[in-house]
Structure 1
């Protein structure tokens, strides 16, 4: 066969990830807080986007390009499917739009402007009101609300105490070095020899400074181990007697629930040992964590599930978590007429295309979440009706096949999304659990429901008849659950439940 050069025409399919599709996928996996931050950034960047007022009305000049109506979805309105829309984006992504879109998805959130600096007191005259030096030309009043009280940190608190406790500059230098060596929990893990070599002083002097630092508030800081941290707090409470010292030195026996050995080492009876253990539990193993703690955001459900009048489950989106944006078509038409050159027109067209895409993407994101959540509720009807023991084993493939989407899409939809049910608020991923095979060919059991049954059995066990892992396996097999002993041990350890030996010691000590 002769080798020659020739032209051939072939037809094939390929996946083209346009910038629009890439950001649509990114929006799909964002939580409600991250989504609101992203939309706020887009509102600042795009002059054609505007928010809807809380009463539901937007600007009269604006037109809604594709708003989401949960009721229309429940009524079976003829709406494009999320999978079909993404497929159409793959097929119809034009080069003109792709060229105008910014393909760098890293800098989605612009840096926030800094707080304006305080005015120079020397520039203020007596009787004058505070003015912002940066906006003095505009004549705006100085905004006191721009300044908030700085949150006190562990290091600031210790530095204030250090300035009062030490007079010698050398001691302050050593104390400052040790303060900077603390971790966020208030522990000192750096060696004293290393600190002495770095500062050019003797180890004895570093230890003297450390002994003073260990009397600072909060009690327990500058400890080099858990035992020393507990000791410092007990000394501060004047409760570090010989019996308590023996308990602290053998704290690992308390973790193992070896109370009989502890009772012998401490030389106390059962009642005194129980009181000592209660005192240990009341101490803080991380004294430095009381400073600078991050605010805990409450969980906000993305989906509400309620019992309908006909006995079925009603699934609807939480409209409060959905950003409501509109595209101002009238403003676009007005400023396009006044564009001076092609560059301005191209910028306006780019803003219009980006705005239309964002509104459509938010709409499709909401539809996809509702569609997947509805299928999860349908699959887990037994859990909602009867409880966790009736949680069905389910994986991503089960939902993906039911809603005709890819498993990766289901994984993104269920990430950082929460569902409010009559039984509490659960992350969507909670409903996905592996299957435990059943005996005699019955339906498989959810791993989560089996874990719950194990916990119920252990909580209800008789102190005089502690259940071993083998006994739990036998009881579960009698109930039709085929499970191995190592699986029971794994589930028990994941729930922070001790072995039968540890539980026997603990419940014996409490009797």
Structure 2
């Protein structure tokens, strides 16, 4: 097993104050953390890792243009839903000051998904307009982008989106409109010659309408790269994004205690950054050792923070800080490091293995007769030889964003009708 070198542990007491915040920072935060630690220190210069040549940074098998897109996301703020809609409040849809006033009020009453959540009657009364006039303006949102915005519910959003399909011939458009009036009973139209075409249009609609305006997540930059070449696995740090601490050391008078202390702090900061690199590198090596089967295509095995902490000679809380907001990239994707610490259910069975098996069951299930949670429970217990309760399966299914058997049957039905 891997062991932490004693000198790393001995340095911990001298640099603990700066080491822990640096250890906990992710690649997008570490520069700011170092700048805070180096504040007012004349011997320290923090050299940014985010403003140097991005072409030299390493990422595990990046898709084409991914790095350029990532840089753009870091420097360009996309327009919000409200900004996008306000730019469209123009004639001929909104030709009068009153129509603009109503439209602005509607925008202010949209939820983040793009649905109208206001009380039409109350909003009209507040603006001093007729309810019919307020509603007339809201209906004009059917012609704005994103399609479906301003609707009160899912079916109205679909109707708004249908209104923008000007390319449809009249019979197909009318069939789509009839299906939307009772979408759950869409199969009653299956013998119509245009049914497949109409369902292709309807299944292309977005829900929620403002999907692309959802809160954008910051780019994920993994700290650890697990690379495989010719069957051999290696672990590297993604150091291309790391800032560097440069010592600007000059001559110090023997009696200048203040500058001597600042120089010591500067050296401690260099040591702290180096210790961060060493700690994360060792965590990567330990993960590959414990979870080797996963990196070869298998399931995640149970792994406890305390086991890793004992190997390092640190407290479990220190290791917890070390993996907080950290990610690992390998040939199976990008994973939060904390996801490798799967909870053991019984023996060598982890909850991650259960979830993976559940996904496999759903992918292979009979589309005409989807499995209930009870049936999945029976198969899981048989596969892993353990006892569970149905609500655990239900919880895992929901965590995996898998619909219930009843909902899946409806979804499968819609898909099969198009074949």
The bucket for the TM-score relative to the shorter chain is 0.7 to 0.9
The answer to whether the aligner puts 1:282 opposite 2:204 as a matched pair is yes
Q: 1:495 to 1:364 in 2, by over 3 A?
A: same
Which TM-score applies when normalising by structure 1? 0.62
Q: Aligned ranges for residues 18-57 of structure 1 at < 5 Å?
A: 21-40=16-35, 45-51=40-46
Q: Distance in 2 between matches of 1:383 and 1:286?
A: 35
Deviations 1:311-342 (A, max 9, x none): 87433323223322122222xx26x69xxxx9
My pick for the range that moved more, 498-507 or 167-176, is: 498-507
Which SS does the other structure have where 2:29 is aligned? Answer: helix
The answer to whether the aligner puts 1:220 opposite 2:129 as a matched pair is no
Gaps of 5+ in 2: 1-12, 50-74
Query: By how many angstroms is 1:228 displaced?
Result: 1.7
| Number of the residue aligned with 1:370 | 281
Q: 2:330 aligns with which of 421, 426, 431?
A: 421
My pick for the range that moved more, 229-238 or 468-477, is: 468-477
Query: By how many angstroms is 1:380 displaced?
Result: 1.2
Query: By how many angstroms is 1:483 displaced?
Result: 4.0
Deviations 1:123-145 (A, max 9, x none): xxxxxxxxxxxxxxxxxxxxxxx
Which TM-score applies when normalising by structure 2? 0.74
Q: Distance in 1 between matches of 2:77 and 2:395?
A: 45
Q: 1:354 aligns with which of 265, 269, 277?
A: 265
The answer to whether the aligner puts 1:164 opposite 2:91 as a matched pair is yes
Q: 1:150 to 1:427 in 2, by over 3 A?
A: closer
The answer to whether the aligner puts 1:268 opposite 2:200 as a matched pair is no
Q: Distance in 1 between matches of 2:380 and 2:77?
A: 56
Q: 1:276 to 1:494 in 2, by over 3 A?
A: farther
- Contact 1:469/1:485, CA 8 A, preserved across alignment: no
Query: By how many angstroms is 1:25 displaced?
Result: 2.2
Q: Distance in 1 between matches of 2:407 and 2:111?
A: 33
Q: 1:398 to 1:247 in 2, by over 3 A?
A: farther
Q: 2:242 aligns with which of 322, 329, 333?
A: 322
Superposition RMSD in Å:
3.7
Q: Distance in 2 between matches of 1:358 and 1:500?
A: 56
Deviations 1:161-186 (A, max 9, x none): 33434443333333333333334443
Q: Aligned ranges for residues 289-438 of structure 1 at < 5 Å?
A: 290=212, 294=216, 297=219, 299-306=220-227, 313-330=233-250, 333=251, 348-349=259-260, 351-385=262-296, 387-389=297-299, 391-437=300-346
Deviations 1:62-84 (A, max 9, x none): xxxxxxxxxxxxxxxxxxxxxxx
Which SS does the other structure have where 1:492 is aligned? Answer: helix
**Number of paired residues?**
373
Which SS does the other structure have where 1:452 is aligned? Answer: helix
Q: Distance in 1 between matches of 2:132 and 2:279?
A: 67
Query: By how many angstroms is 1:431 displaced?
Result: 0.9
- Contact 1:52/1:324, CA 8 A, preserved across alignment: yes
| Number of the residue aligned with 1:440 | none
Which SS does the other structure have where 2:143 is aligned? Answer: coil
| Number of the residue aligned with 2:401 | 496
Q: Distance in 2 between matches of 1:307 and 1:227?
A: 49
Which SS does the other structure have where 1:187 is aligned? Answer: coil
Gaps of 5+ in 1: 1-17, 55-147, 254-260, 438-442
